[in-house]
Amino acid sequence: MSAQDARAQRLARLAAQTDWSKVRDLYTGEQYGPDNLTGLWATDRNTADNTCSNLRFAAIGDGSSVSGAAAEVLPFLVEAARDPDVTVRFEVLRTIADIAGAGKTAPTAKVDRLLEGSWWPTVDGAWPAAWERAAEELLPLLDDGDHVIRGSAVLALAQSAAHADSLIADFRARFDAEPELWPAGCFVRGVGELARHATRRREEALAWLRHRMSVEGKGAEPDFDQDIDAWIAWDEEIRHDVRLQAVEALCRALPEHADPLYAPVTTAALLASSAATVHLPWQCVSPQVDVIAEADRRLGADLPGRLALAHALLRHDGYEKRAGGLGVAATLMSRWRSAVPALLPAVAGLVSDARPENRVFALRVLAMCGAAARPWADVVATHLTPVGEPDELTWEHALWALSRMGDDRCVPPLTELLRTRGDFAYRPTGSIDRRWNRSDLSFAEALAPFAAHSDALLAPLLAHIKRTATRWHPYFSILRQWHRDGADVVPRLIELLDDDEMLMVSAHALLRLDSGAVATAHRERLRERIDPPNARHRNDLSHLSPYQYHALTGDDGPVRALLGSPDSSASPEPTPQLTEPDLLRSCAALGGSLGAPAADRLRGMFHTALSGTPERWSDAPKGAVECARALWRVTGDADDVLPGLLKLTARSALAGYQTPGGVEALELLAEVAATHPPVAQRVARQLRATAEERIRHHNRFAAMTLVRSLWQLTSDPQQVVPLLTGLVRICPPPGSTDPTVLAPVRLLAEVGATDPASVAPAAPALHALLDADERLVNHDDWHSVRRDEDLCAAVRVVLATG
């Protein structure tokens, strides 16, 4: 019988023993069968790799639970891992290790039970026994001729808690005979993982790992050409320098234990000539820097040790080690406030590094630190000339760094760049990955702080926007910032309305500034640019909508024309062709001037939306709230909307405010109740109770909306300060999805401005945000320092009021 026939028989036997009803996609429910699994043996590597990925997802999804498919597909994965003809054996072994790892961690995972019926990590009951049987079948792979397969098998077997004691002895023995560095390091990491679960050999494993960690460097590499025997002897020894892996293993085995030797051993290993150049099988670029970053990460909260590591790397002769040091420095600064003054001088010293990539990285770190880096602005400014900086990429980063420091020496080159190209060449990547090898250079952010120079910058800025001809241009944000900072932007934009070439660019710019009806003298010329009634989704700057024209000129004629009412004194029934969204938008624009016919139609729409049956109620509230809001804008009569809104909020309360529009109904109810005192107190109680419930369930989105409405309705600090204090504790850091912790802190500042003593209960939570050395923002991000400074500034405003 041929090998292929034997394999076919084994797979057929495994397929007959498999419960295929459990092997399905966790999200789509797509069923997998024997044909899908045989894709692991496909000669096309892409097909085999996709099959492996699909099986991993069917088994553990996002990695937090182990499904019923895991035990069913495991025999196929083991068979594929043992077959030399499979092209993705490494990926298969990693998949096995991932499933086994999830099988250990999911039962102990801590997940907040936020809402009734929330999902908890689980492990299918058949998995543990299936895995322990399969682990024994992987043992022969420890003798595989491919060192990548040997190491991968070690990492998979290290998840076998039931065999921990026997595998520790086996791994230690095999380590001494392992000729390759990567599998040797895997044996060390495997011992650390198994030590977490060992009973008889735990102390023995820890002592062995400490010995591996204490091995000293082997000295400089001998000259290969001059003394080949010495080089071979040195190479045989250096391949077993696994200090980095030993530190990782001990950190894993003793997660709560901070050994004072971890940091110096890590530093010594990374500074050795070979320890920092371990190529992992899945690495494609910059292995040295990757290993440095990973080794630094393992040191965790050991700030003094990590600072020493950063300084040693930043001073190193090797440019890759200096690059690694810059990465470590950026990581530490993004996490700890005290790391900025400790590391900035050393980082600034690399602004003139011989390697352009290191100069760029150093400039980016200085830019990240913003105002704290101003003492080095003169050094950065030397890179603004071709003589001082021949590399264009570095030149752009010097511009960016000076702009983040607020140094106006960057304004002339930024102005010239705006005239000629309009943007940095090294633009943001658009990726959510903001690690240190990504860029977030934003020309809009670079220009925004310089409102004092808006006279010189406005003309080229508008010219660039006109060239691109898109109404969604990001540079409108620059104008908004200048306007907020007090620059006289509006008068100059009004003057430009007289220029036919700049008419529409200026008009759209004024709309972005919410400047009001400032173009009354230009009504006739702007009326010619109004979109026709059937125009939709226009993206260029050539036209205005009737609503934009009304906001800019105060002339409501075109909006009334949409409603079939060209004469402002007449109010006939709106035309049937007008869609409900257009009617609602017209009501928001014109309000009470629309008259009774529009109110009658809105009243009918509102009552129709309220009549939704319970089965269809999930679709009703949001539309009902929109109709109620428009009706309220038109009539201003609380009796028109209060009964329906009270009914709407009562039905939403029964559904736990999970229906679309439930919270919006309460928000509008609060607005109406502010003009109708008989129900104001009742609505305030409902707002407060619902906000408390949402905070208990960590629903910050609804809670923040309700607390704002409560404050606008009552102006009572005693009611809102406890809620805002609760929101400070549950809202995520700046940089997350809004509302972040900045939202309740800024509302606390508003409350404190009216009653300073009222914010005292929030002071302990605010001091915790301000006094911690570790930044309470997402770390490892170019924006971390800036977001942390924004948070601290907002907190200081509140504390200053109290």
The band of 621, judged by pLDDT with boundaries at 50, 70 and 90, is low
Q: Quickly list H helices, 225-354.
A: 228-238, 243-253, 262-271, 287-298, 303-314, 319-335, 339-348
When computed from its CA atoms, the radius of gyration of the chain, rounded to whole angstroms, is 33
Beta bridge partners of 774: 336
Residue 693 has pLDDT above 50, yes or no: yes
Extract the tokens encoding 85: 């003809």
Distance in Å from the first CA to the final CA of the chain = 86
The CA–CA distances, whole Å, from 304 to 261, 264, 300, 334, 342 equal: 12, 10, 11, 15, 10
Give pLDDT tens digits for 113-137: 333 333 456 888 888 889 988 888 9
What is d(CA 499, CA 463) in angstroms, rounded to the nearest whole number? Answer: 13
Query: Cα-flanking dihedrals φ and ψ of residue 655, to 5°?
Result: -95, 10
Q: What 3-state DSSP class applies to 336?
A: strand
CA 176, 180, 181, 183 torsion-angle sign: negative
What is the per-residue pLDDT for 651? 66
| Tokens coding 759 | 């914010």
- Does position 112 have pLDDT exceeding 50, yes or no? no
Write the CA distances from 707 to 15, 107, 598, 662, 713, integer angstroms: 58, 37, 32, 15, 10
Mean pLDDT for the stretch of residues 410-428: 89
d(CA 654, CA 778): 37
Rounded Cα distance between 581 and 782, Å, is 41
Query: What is the widest separation between alpha-carbon atoms in the chain?
Result: 104
Q: 3-class SS at 31?
A: strand
Residue 246: closest CA among 301, 322, 192, 310? 192
pLDDT per residue over 244-258, tens digit each? 899 999 988 988 787
Q: What is the pLDDT of residues 523-579, one digit of tens each?
A: 999 999 998 766 665 678 888 988 889 999 989 888 877 776 444 444 444 444 456
Task: Give the per-residue pLDDT at 574.
Answer: 44
Q: Which residues sit opposite 544 in a β-bridge? A: 530
Structure tokens at 322: 């200096």
| Spatial distance between the Cα atoms of 367 and 782, rounded to a whole number of angstroms | 9
Q: What pLDDT is stored for residue 489 in this prediction?
A: 94
CA distance 622 to 332: 46
Q: For residues 165 and 597, which has the higher predicted lDDT (pLDDT)?
A: 165
Determine the average pLDDT of the residues in 401-407: 96
> Looking at per-residue confidence, does 278 or 348 come out higher?
348
Q: Is residue 288 a contact partner of residue 277, using CB atoms and an 8 Å limit?
A: yes
Token pair for 102:
């999830």
Report the distance separating Cα 142 and Cα 170, nearest Å: 10
Q: What pLDDT sits at residue 285?
A: 35
For 540, half-sphere exposure in the C-beta direction (CA atoms, 13 angstrom radius) is: 10
* pLDDT tens digit sequence for 645-661: 888 787 666 555 455 55
- What b/e string do you get for 625-656 counting C-beta neighbours within 10 Å, with b at 16 or more? bbbbbbbbbbbeebebbbebbbebbebbbeee
How confident is residue 753, by pLDDT bands cut at 50, 70 and 90?
very high
Q: What percent of the chain has pLDDT over 70?
A: 84
Alpha carbon of 564 to those of 571, 578, 597, 717: distances in Å?
8, 9, 11, 47
pTM: 0.78
Residue 723: both structure tokens together: 């809620």
Determine the pLDDT at residue 224. Answer: 44
